[in-house]
Structure 1
Amino acid sequence: MAAVYDRLGELLTIILMAIALGMDAFSLGIGIGMRGVRWGEMLRIGVLVAFFHLLMPLVGVVAGQYAGEILGGLAKYVSGSLLVLLGGHMIWNSLFGKDEQAVDYRSFLGILLFSLSVSVDSFSVGVSLGMSRSSLLLTVIAFGLVGGMMSILGLLFGRGVGERLGEYGEAAGGAILLAFGLIFIF
């Protein structure tokens, strides 16, 4: 019975982390959605965000597993510290960062840069999860699906909602990652 609870705990942790990482895509999607975006563009953005949210943690988990072998017992402290730093950085950016877009989000290059930029955080989380021996397949699928869905939801939500919520969305995602980092450390 304890194994079932451990598995459910791992699943819940991965889903909450996927949502936290997807908040970045959601909040930026709100900003883009407020400028007006077509259904086809939403789908392209969502698919590319899902792809990068799948690819980046996959690469991160592989790198994290390698680092975990090297670091041994220190791996959980390093992985927790990475999550704390990443969460703090997301909170800092949401409160003090500037929200400027220099690239046309409707072009392929713009969609590619947007998708990659909201997925870079997934690499760091993948490294942390790789060091903690989480399920690779479950992690990358959850991150990909949730990241893609959150970007599309942000684009849809952005059509009718003010810009302020987007800033708070990234801060909320950062707070979740920071909390999980502290749990890993302690």
Structure 2
Amino acid sequence: METSQALLIYNMASVEKCPETLTAVNASSKQLNCSIDTYGNNQYMCLPNAEKSSLVEFCYNGIMGIQVEGNCLEAKDGRVILHSCKKFLSGCPKKPFFNYDFYKYPACQHINLKHFCYESDPSCQALENSGGFNNVSNDNRDIMYGLIGGLLVLVILTIVIAGFINERRWKRWWWSFTGVGNEPDRKPDKTSGTTTNPGL
């Protein structure tokens, strides 16, 4: 369930990664020219959007208030909203936190852009793991098919050759045991009716 706060967001921009240290936060805040609230707190924030399709950095006009534990922050329609993270495997805030401390909880910024979910959410990891063979690119899939086909041909040839060799060995054993038929590797002598060994 999501709850929201009416906080006006401005200077919003998409980013590939949110800052994860106070030094990086201050540098990004300076680039966006963010202000401070009435208590002297930096008004810069970097959060996922509500769709989990992008990370966005922004400033907003509002007090950097305190939030309830067990929630991540998201940006939606010019506001900051709360998104429950109590089911996260790790990284969910376990105590109340201020808005400006968002960077201390990277699990709330690490999103899966393929499935539009939080990486620490078990349901998100299930989606990622279920992708399996479908996540293989077409080029890699063609290579995989080629390797599998070549391996099958090699296995079939090996079986055929092994079968031929085993057949000759069996014939030799049968002749030595029973004396029936021509000795393997010997050809009948057309003139005398006997067999000759081509190796002699």
User: What's the TM-score bracket when you normalise by the shorter of the two chains?
Assistant: under 0.3
Larger Rg: 2
Instruction: Using structure 2 for the length normalisation, give the TM-score.
Output: 0.23
Structure having the higher strand fraction is 2
Instruction: Using structure 1 for the length normalisation, give the TM-score.
Output: 0.24
Q: Relative contact order (alpha carbons < 8 A, sep ≥ 6): 1 or 2 greater?
A: 1
